Structure 1
Amino acid sequence: MIAHRATLDVSRALVHYLARLLHDERRLRNTPTGSRVLTPFRQAVMVLRWFRGERDIPKLGRDHRVSRAPAYRYLHEGIVALAAQAPDLHEALDRAHAEGLAYVILDGTLIPTDRCAEQTRSVKGEPIDAWYAGKAHTHAGNLQALSAPSGLPLWIGEVEPGLRP
């Protein structure tokens, strides 16, 4: 293997912001100092690399000298820390009103998945796969978002099971 350095195209302030969130989360969980392979700063870099398009999590882990399981755990901790900063729907609507927006745009999309096997009952009482989107004929999560007229995202909802037939 050949080692090389790369530049991450995000500001240092953003990395420090996420690192502070991760540090605070570790304190809330009473994580002992020095018990993690990655510092909050290095974990923030790993998470932001994933957001910038590096989707191969085992590779991210290797790059940061952690195995696959901690790489997934570190990534999800970062996502949760960032998501906790997002406004809820009421806060987003209040902000839109305060900014005098004439309207907002509600839109959604299906995100394909192959990792969900949760069962539920159909309206007919038959067992069905909760994450199967009948109209799209695929397993997917339904994601809804609220945007300003300029396209700026104001709110993104939790992923829900795909649309039922």
Structure 2
Amino acid sequence: MWWSGKHKHHGGNVQVISAPDGWPIWVSPVRPGREHDTTCARTHGLVDALNRLASTLDILTLTDLGYENADDGFRHPVKKPKGGELDDAQQTFNSVIRGVHAVAERANALLEVTFKALRRVSLDPRGITRIARAALVLLHLEHGRTT
């Protein structure tokens, strides 16, 4: 399973895909921070690509509720019904998803903590994109994860 999530910069939304161990492997071009996660992912072709991966190789993508309507290739926590409760199976499913989510959030944390330039950047989207992509490459080189 892969994890898809976001890293919100000041004024920007970057989609991050991590490997199952929480290591970031891809960052998207920056979209406006006000855009919904699914909109950003669709803009970059990410939703279609990950749905194809799910249908051809049976590899699902775990997400947060920001991807609630992103099709069958995505798994996200079950939303609590208005005025209702989740049953035991739904609560267990959510616990598993959230446990994996914690590992996957490592991808965002690695990028932001390692590179101070990503913490409160307020450049134009192209500038933020260049910084995020450079940070991803440098992180991989620094930790010998280039193979």
From the CA coordinates, give the structure whose radius of gyration is larger.
1
Common fold: TM-score over 0.5: no
The normalised TM-score by structure 1 is 0.26
Higher helix share: 2
Q: Pick 1 or 2: higher relative contact order, CA cutoff 8 A, min separation 6.
A: 2
